[in-house]
Amino acid sequence: MSSGPVIGVDAGGTKLLAGVVDEDLTVGHSVRRLWSGGDRAEVLDTMVEAVSEARAGSGARAVGFGIPALLDFDAGVSISSVHLPLADLAFRDLMTERLGVPVYVDNDANLAALAEQRVGAARGASNVVLLTLGTGIGSGIVLDGHLFRGASGAGAEIGHMTIDHHGPPCQGNCPGRGCLEVMASGTAIAREGTDAGRRHPESALGRLVAQRGVVTGEEVAELALTGDDAACSVMAAAGRSLGAGLASVVNIFEPEVIVIGGGAAAAGDLLLDPAREVVAQRALRPSRDTVRIVPAALGEEAGMVGAGLFALADGRI
């Protein structure tokens, strides 16, 4: 491991966060960008601009990227991405050329899982699964203290586990139906929250939908925390769908801890208790009795910290 600070970048489906990460994993100056749509050139330009702004005057020696893509990990190539135009892109080489420093790239949720396992909600555990409920559902798996990436680097996509064979079509470029992502992501909660608001115009959720036309997953979570019955019902239904997926995760991986992050997870136990109940009903013993399902500790900085960790280790994690 080389010395000196690095830049950690978390590039999600709707936002990017880049910041200086020191060797003790403290975060210095950070830069935030929002995006929606745009072609590949615009997305890459935004990444370069944000990193350049974060790097200014920092002496950062390398950049770690977490991107929402399936990767050929060894080659640093983005094979496909549901939410960003990054298919078939030699991402690591391109960014190394444009930024002029070593670049390391991995899946964004892998790096968030790494951060939560090393310094966050799952600190001290060796077997950890993380899911982030945002635009989609990102996921990362740490087994015996090491990131699980699959044969080439494209593994650990729990969000695209089918939980309803006849369910709605999944999002973006996913060809599946009834994936966990389309049933329990922040986007799914927003969709169901908007529908519930229209059905219950007398509720606080209904009044917000009447004003705005739509609501976000974060807004549904916030209203649920105030006790709004319509919003609570939406969060509970999402939690049950989440639990159906987590029951399979528990049976397959037997993690010590499952960490749930993302904006919609702000609802806390209003989301997690229904998920825990389904896991208790459907997963097998002894795993169902020992697994802890907990909220993420690092918030939106998890992916950025994990990307910094990755770069600090020169990509050898």
What residues contact residue 202 under an 8 Å CB cut-off, 6+ apart?
none
- Predicted pLDDT at 2: 57
Give the tens place of pLDDT for each residue, 283-304.
999 999 999 999 999 988 999 9
C-beta of residue 252 within 8 angstroms of C-beta of residue 285: no
Residue 40 has pLDDT above 60, yes or no: yes
Q: Within a 10 A sphere around the Cβ of 314, how many other Cβ atoms?
A: 15
Tell me the pLDDT of the chain averaged across its residues. Answer: 95
Q: Is the per-residue pLDDT at 37 higher than 70?
A: no
pLDDT at 75: 96
Alpha-carbon gap, residue 248 to 25, rounded angstroms: 33
pTM of the model: 0.91
- Percent of the chain at pLDDT > 90 equals 89
Render the burial of 112-134: b for 16+ CB within 10 Å, e for the rest.
Answer: bbbbbbbbbbbeebebbbbbbbb
Q: Which residue has the tokens 């960790």?
A: 309
For residue 101, how many C-alpha atoms fall within 13 Å in the half-sphere facing its CB?
19
Query: If you search the block for the tokens 């080439």, which residue do you land on?
Result: 152
- pLDDT tens for 47-58 read 999 999 999 989
> Cα dist. 87→47, 71, 83, 173 in Å?
16, 9, 10, 10
Structural element, H or E, at residue 123 = none
Per-domain residue ranges of the chain? 6-113+301-312, 124-296
According to DSSP, residue 159 is labeled G
Q: For 129, phi and psi rounded to 5 degrees?
A: -120, 135
Tokens read off for 51: 């990193």
User: Residue 39 in contact with residue 85, Cβ under 8 Å?
Assistant: yes
How does pLDDT run across 239-277, given as a tens digit for each residue? 999 999 999 999 999 999 999 998 888 899 999 999 999
Segments of 90-193 assigned E as strands: 103-107, 128-133, 137-143, 146-147
SS3 of residue 295 by DSSP: strand
Q: What is the pLDDT of residue 235?
A: 97
> What local confidence, expressed as pLDDT, does residue 3 receive?
79
- Name the residue among 60, 28, 27, 66 with its Cα closest to residue 47: 66
pLDDT class for 13, splitting at 50, 70, 90? confident
Measured CA to CA, the distance from residue 200 to residue 196 in angstroms comes to 6
Q: With a cut of 80, say whether residue 1 has pLDDT above it.
A: no
For residue 63, pLDDT over 70 is answered with yes
Contacts of 56 by beta carbon, 8 Å cutoff, 6+ apart? none
DSSP-derived secondary structure for 170-181: -STT---BSBHH
Q: What pLDDT score was predicted for residue 265? A: 87
Class of residue 175 by CB neighbours under 10 A (exposed 0-12, middle 13-18, buried 19+) = exposed
> What is the amino acid identity at position 24?
D
What's the CATH superfamily of 6-113+301-312? ATPase, nucleotide binding domain (3.30.420.40)
Is the fold of 6-113+301-312 the same as that of 124-296? yes
The superfamily in CATH containing domain 124-296 is ATPase, nucleotide binding domain (3.30.420.40)
Query: pLDDT tens digits, residue range 64-118?
Result: 999 999 999 999 999 999 889 999 999 999 999 999 999 999 999 999 999 999 9
Q: Residue 211: exposed, middle, or buried by beta-carbon count in 10 A (0-12, 13-18, 19+)?
A: exposed
pLDDT, tens only, 178-230: 999 999 999 999 999 999 999 999 999 999 999 999 999 999 999 999 999 99
